[in-house]
Amino acid sequence: MLRISSLLISTAFLAAVLLIAPSKGWAEELPEGVTYQTVAEYSVDVSGLEKVMMNKLIMEPGAMWEFTVNNQVFCNVTQGSILVVDHEAGSSTLYTTGSRWAPTKGNTVTISNPGDETHVHWIYALIEKK
């Protein structure tokens, strides 16, 4: 019973830390209108990987965030739209509900919500073993 309690406390602490700084290199304080939540994380038995994290990104209309993509991630828009500018690739793509994509690890991107409704998308991050 003590082991389970310790595990739950450790998991809650890790989740709280990840809400503050979701990934090394990302802003410690999120821009106004941006919410980033780690919803779940799973250990995996895949060579080179430690875990998979499931994250939810919510952006209010007009919100903008620039950061470096530090892990291999896969994204899925479930509400609204998001404009993704990849500075290294020189591309600008508008994704809408139902869109899926995988930004390039290591690239700096600026994401913004150009629409008039709240944007929601899920980010599945592959966390490599260190």
Strands (DSSP E) found in 10-107: 34-43, 49-59, 64-68, 72-79, 81-86, 91-96, 100-101
Pick the CATH number of 2-128 from 2.30.40.10, 2.60.120.10, 3.40.50.20, 1.10.10.10: 2.60.120.10
Pick left, alpha or beta for residue 48 (phi over 0 → left; psi -120 to 50 → alpha; otherwise beta): left
User: Mean pLDDT over residues 81-91, rounded?
Assistant: 97
pLDDT tens-digit map of 20-65: 344 444 445 899 999 999 999 999 999 999 999 999 999 999 999 9
| Residues 103-129, mean pLDDT to the nearest whole number | 97
Rounded average pLDDT over 74-99: 98
End-to-end CA distance of the chain: 30
Give the mean pLDDT of the chain.
85
pLDDT at 28: 58
Q: Percentage of the chain with pLDDT > 70?
A: 78
- pTM here is 0.76
Domain ranges of the chain: 2-128
Looking only at the bridges linking them, the beta strands covering 91-96 and 64-68 are unpaired
Check residue 29 and give its pLDDT: 87
Q: Other CB atoms closer than 10 Å to residue 29's CB: what's the count?
A: 8
